[in-house]
Structure 1
Amino acid sequence: MDLSRQRELARHLASLRRESRQQSGLDAHLVPPDADTAYRVAQMVEEELGWDVVGWKIAGMKPGLQRQLRTSSPIYGRVFAPLIEVSPATVEHARQCSPIPEVEYQARLGADLPPRALPYTVEEIGDAVASLHPGIELAECRFVHDAAFPPMAAILADGAGSGTIVLGEAIADWRSRDIANQAVVLNCNGVERRRGSAAEAIDHPLVPLTWLANELSRTGIGLKAGQTISTGTLTGMLRPKAGETYLADFGPFGTVSATYA
């Protein structure tokens, strides 16, 4: 895929994102041939939009979700300003592209993690986290989930389904708490829909965060202080309807809610 086609795809994806619009399928000549090319296109989308990158999303840390996502490795995408909101949040369902609410821990960085030759350790990443929050990622996709749904590389170019991040209050003394084993419940209009834990889905929020830091280091991008990272769904994926309110209950760590108006 030559540079001109990469740029053509980036401009198209930027237009879809600006207009809160999606489409069915993608012309074969615009599908990136591999993940590295797809991530280069995603960086071009950032350039085309001119929007600040205020965070990142991670998905597919374990094989079960990787199979659902049609990938053999974790994936990541940019979160753009102003798409980080404080709970309770409301979005317009009609303007969301194939929306999916995902219960996730959100890590806010207090230090830069620039590219370097030596891999980052989990301990270093923990020291760089200023706060850890309960949250919900309101994921989106610029491609309709139909029979023409394009290969995963096209989704990576689109930011791996990145949308809005909804943050709860910071978890006090999070490093001394049992984050991994805390049960998390997702309720919809007061009815339980899903439950899970970090131990089951991602091991611990620092595990995907360390993976992302090393991936972005490898590609020369790095992470920056102040960015918020959504570390991966704890409750799987489901499709919301207009008028539904989703409340994520993290027990002693607090609750987070988002309404699809």
Structure 2
Amino acid sequence: MDIARQRELARLLATLRRDGRQQSGLDPGLVRPDKDTAYRVARMVEDELSRPVAGWKIAAMKAGLQAQLRTDSPIYGRVFAPQIREAPASVAHAQQCSPIPEVEYQARLGADLPPRDRPYTVDEVTEAVASLHPGIELAECRFVHDAAFPPLNAILADGAGAGSIVYGPAIADWRTRDVAGQEVTLSCNGALRRKGTAAEALDHPLVPLTWLANELSRTGIGLKAGQLISTGTLTGMLRPKPGETYVADFGPFGSVTASYV
């Protein structure tokens, strides 16, 4: 896949994002079997959009979700401004592309984590985090989920399904509290739909964040102070309907509300 075809795919994905629409399938000639090319196209989408990267999403930290998403490793994507929203938030369901609400811890960086030769440790990444928040990722996908749904690398080029991030107030003293063991729940219009813990899904929110710091270091991108990183779903994936309101309850760490109107 030469650079011209990469640019063609990037322009297509940027146009779909600007227009808020999807398409069915993708020309096989626009998808290469290697993830590095897919992520390179995702970076070209950033250039095409000329929007600040306000945050990042991480998905598929463990084998179960990797199998669902057809990957053998974690994946990531950019979240563009103004897709970072303070809770409570609402979005128009009709303008969302295959929406999925996911309960996630979200970390805001207080210091840069630039590319470097040696890997970042969990301790170093923890030190760079200014605050940890309860939140909901409102994931999207620019491809219709039909029989023509393209291979994973097309999804990676599209930002791994990145949409919006809705975050709640910062968790006080999060470094000394059991954020990994805290059970979280996801309710829809008052009815419990899912529950889980970071320990089960991620081991700890700082584990995926450290993975991302090292992945973006390896590829010469890095993380920047002020960016908000959604660290991976704790409750799996659901398909919302218009008129549904989702509440992510993190117990003593607060709750976050997002509605599809």
Counterpart of 1:8, as a letter, is E
Residue correspondence of structure 1 range 47-62 to structure 2 within 5 A: 47-62=47-62
Distance 1:108 1:28 in 2: 37
How big is the shift at 1:34?
1.1
Distance 1:180 1:104 in 2: 11
For the residue of structure 1 that corresponds to 2:64, the secondary structure is helix
Is the aligned partner of 1:65 residue 2:65?
yes
Distance 1:144 1:105 in 2: 27
Is the aligned partner of 1:167 residue 2:173?
no
Q: After superposition, what is the alpha-carbon deviation per residue over 1:35-92, rounded to whole angstroms, capped at 9, x for unaligned?
A: 0000000000000000000000000000000000000000000000000111100000
Partner of 2:91: 91
Partner of 1:156: 156
Partner of 1:122: 122
Residue correspondence of structure 1 range 222-261 to structure 2 within 5 A: 222-261=222-261
For the residue of structure 1 that corresponds to 2:132, the secondary structure is strand
Distance 1:33 1:45 in 2: 19
For the residue of structure 2 that corresponds to 1:65, the secondary structure is helix
How big is the shift at 1:32?
2.5
For the residue of structure 1 that corresponds to 2:146, the secondary structure is coil
Percent identity reads: 78
Distance 1:34 1:154 in 2: 10
TM-score (normalised: structure 2): 1.00
Counterpart of 1:218, as a letter, is R
Counterpart of 1:3, as a letter, is I
For the residue of structure 2 that corresponds to 1:46, the secondary structure is helix
Q: After superposition, what is the alpha-carbon deviation per residue over 1:96-124, rounded to whole angstroms, capped at 9, x for unaligned?
A: 00000000000000000000001000000
Distance 1:240 1:58 in 2: 20
Distance 1:33 1:23 in 2: 21
Counterpart of 1:94, as a letter, is A
Partner of 2:204: 204
Residue correspondence of structure 1 range 208-219 to structure 2 within 5 A: 208-219=208-219
Counterpart of 1:248, as a letter, is A
Q: After superposition, what is the alpha-carbon deviation per residue over 1:111-142, rounded to whole angstroms, capped at 9, x for unaligned?
A: 00000001000000000000000000000000
Is the aligned partner of 1:185 residue 2:170?
no
For the residue of structure 2 that corresponds to 1:126, the secondary structure is helix
TM-score (normalised: structure 1): 1.00
For the residue of structure 1 that corresponds to 2:101, the secondary structure is strand
Distance 2:238 2:145 in 1: 13
For the residue of structure 2 that corresponds to 1:54, the secondary structure is strand
For the residue of structure 1 that corresponds to 2:76, the secondary structure is strand
How big is the shift at 1:33?
2.4
How big is the shift at 1:192?
0.2
Partner of 2:146: 146
For the residue of structure 2 that corresponds to 1:232, the secondary structure is coil
Is the aligned partner of 1:195 residue 2:195?
yes
Partner of 1:133: 133
Partner of 1:81: 81
Moved over 2 A (4+): none
Aligned pair count reads 261
For the residue of structure 2 that corresponds to 1:5, the secondary structure is helix
Counterpart of 1:173, as a letter, is D
Partner of 1:220: 220
How big is the shift at 1:31?
1.2
Partner of 2:14: 14
5+ long unaligned stretches in structure 1: none
Residue correspondence of structure 1 range 100-111 to structure 2 within 5 A: 100-111=100-111
RMSD: 0.4
Distance 1:151 1:39 in 2: 14
Moved more, 64-73 or 32-41: 32-41
